[in-house]
Amino acid sequence: MASPDAEAPPPTEPERWRDLDILLSRPGNLVHATFQPSPGLRDDIGSFVEVLVVGAGGLGCELLKDLALSGFKNLHVIDMDTIDVSNLNRQFLFRVQDVGKPKAEVAAKRVMERVSGVNIVPHFCRIEDKELEFYNQFQIIVLGLDSIEARSYINSVACGFLEYDSDDKPIPKTAKPMVDGGTEGFKGHARVIMPGTTPCFECNIWLFPPQVKFPLCTLAETPRTAAHCIEYAHLIKWDEVHTGKPFDADNAEHMQWIYSEALQRAELFGISGVTYSLTQGVVKNIIPAIASTNAIISAACALEALKLVSGCSKSVLNYLTYNGLVGTHIKVTEFVRDTDCLVCGPGTLIELDTSSTLSEFIKMLEKHPKLLMSKASVTHEGNNLYMQSPEVLEQMTRQNLSIPMFELLKGASFVTVHVSGMAESNGNKVSSLRKLRVLFKGVEEASKMDTTESS
């Protein structure tokens, strides 16, 4: 390290941020209604805004850089993955020496090394491991993910903070905006989700159709393609041969075994095209990814984040798609909210008897047709009523199970609670979080009578 006092003084912040300040300090005609241009706006963003970046992969690395150079100074990044060699063609903050290290930690460190004044807190864990309140500290959540399940989870967390008034109108100050990006090869999307105003991820879930799976009978009886042979080895043959030993896609020996089995089967049926690379692609469901598309989509997301906090220009309404296969094709579509959305709406209504216990309530969630949620944990205004895990919390909250919900919720007639557990989605069990509005039968009438009397 060079000794600081021997050097020329570092540039002043206004000199350094000349270009950004032009945008933030000057009035304009095509800006957001809330825009208050001022030379201090960048400082305010730096001091008062905390942003969470979900994912430190292809999009996440770009997002951290873009946000750090857009005036944001307090960033957090969460990612459970470690760095793999195949990340290096696009995740520009990682080097070959970093392989095996946590993505979030390396990415945060690299950006902080290069952009002075920015603080990035890494979280090397699963998104489900964080308490809901963790997510509430951020003004914006930016998603750089490649999985539908993870998007869906964060979306439900962010939408869970949205409160509705007594007329079922969303309360704007409780809305937690999200900016979501995604890429696949030369294509990508960027969108702004303002819960309660624009459609949430779940409102337009049909934009992300589930992956088509091969019927098992095709794999077992009438294989025709290389992928059929690979999936046969992966989904049927592995378990037949390795009873009780789970298949691990990250284990090179396991992958090699699938490959040679698939090759044998392909030869048997006269099918061509089984390669090691295809085997990996099919088994791990690899999505092709390149640096340029990630850069384009992340840049759009970061720009939208800057607009959301500063108002320095209009926001995208509300879904951008980029397609680089033929030319550079950009389309912006204004999707509409699903007013019956289970996630960003006021919450699923559940009617309970005042005598129903917490344990009965949890059982009821398993059978509720809109929820089908098993192993639910229940919270109310940040308080844990019952937690399935960790064990300490389970023990602490276990005694609540036999207590009536009405009592636990302190005799309120109409209450919002959050439940999280496993729910069915496209035939898979996935982590799910739902907002419920609990109405106690018979109580509402009483309280209504009370109001009538008092008025």
Partner 1 sequence: MAAAAVAVAEPKTKYDRQLRIWGDQGQAALEKASICLLNSGPTGTEALKNLVLGGIGSVTVVDGSKVEPSDLGNNFLCNSRVNKECLGQSRAQSVCSFLQELNDAVKVKYVEESPGTMIDTNPSFFSQFTVVIATQLPESSLLKLDGICRAADIVLVAARSYGLTGLVRVSVKEHCVIESKPDHFLDDLRLHNPWTELKQFAKSIDICDKDPVVHKHTPYIVILVRLAEKWADAHDGKLPSTRQEKREFKDLIRAHMLNVDEENYKEAVESSYKVSVTPGISTEIRQIIDDSSSEVNLSSSDFWVLVAALKEFIANEGNGDLPLEGTIPDMTSQTEYYVSLQKIYQAKAETDCLAMEHRVKNILKRIGRHPDSISRAYIKTFCKNARKLRVCRYRSMEEEFNAPVISEVQKYFADEDSCFAMNFYILLRAVDRLAANYSRLPGIFDSEIDEDVPRLKVAAVSVLSDMGLNGTSLSEDLVTEVCRFAGAEIHPVAAFIGGVASQEVIKLVTKQFVPLMGTFIFNGIDLKSQVLAL
Structure tokens at 298: 């992340």
- 26's contact among partner 1, Zn ion, none, with CB below 5 to 8 A by partner kind, is partner 1
Half-sphere exposure of 154 (CA within 13 A, CB side): 27
Minimal distance, residue 138 CB to partner 1, in Å: 19
The number of residues in the chain equals: 455
Residue nearest to Zn ion (CB): 341
- 387's contact among partner 1, Zn ion, none, with CB below 5 to 8 A by partner kind, is none
Q: Position of tokens 């298949």?
A: 247
Structure tokens at 121: 């807190």
Whether 341 is catalytic is no
How far apart are alpha carbons 92 and 56 in whole angstroms? 11
How far apart are alpha carbons 132 and 349 in whole angstroms? 21
- 344's contact among partner 1, Zn ion, none, with CB below 5 to 8 A by partner kind, is Zn ion
How far apart are alpha carbons 31 and 96 in whole angstroms? 43
- 306's contact among partner 1, Zn ion, none, with CB below 5 to 8 A by partner kind, is partner 1
How far apart are alpha carbons 357 and 404 in whole angstroms? 4
Residue 202 binds Zn ion, judged by CB under 5 A = yes
In what side-by-side order are the strands of the sheet with 178-184? 119-123, 74-78, 50-54, 140-144, 178-184, 187-193, 319-323, 329-333
Q: Which of 61, 125, 217, 341 is catalytic?
A: 217
Q: Which is nearer to partner 1, 42 or 176 (CB)?
A: 42
Site string for Zn ion, 335-364 (x = CB under 5 A): ------x-xx--------------------
Among 83, 203, 229, 233, binds Zn ion (CB under 5 A): 203
How far apart are alpha carbons 214 and 212 in whole angstroms? 7
- 134's contact among partner 1, Zn ion, none, with CB below 5 to 8 A by partner kind, is none
Residue 205 binds Zn ion, judged by CB under 5 A = no
Stretch 246-275 residues interacting with Zn ion (CB under 5 A)? none
How far apart are alpha carbons 104 and 125 in whole angstroms? 9
Q: Which is nearer to partner 1, 127 or 190 (CB)?
A: 190
Minimal distance, residue 189 CB to Zn ion, in Å: 17
Residue 178 binds Zn ion, judged by CB under 5 A = no
Contact set with Zn ion (CB under 5 A): 200, 202-203, 341, 343-344
Which residues does the annotation mark as catalytic?
217
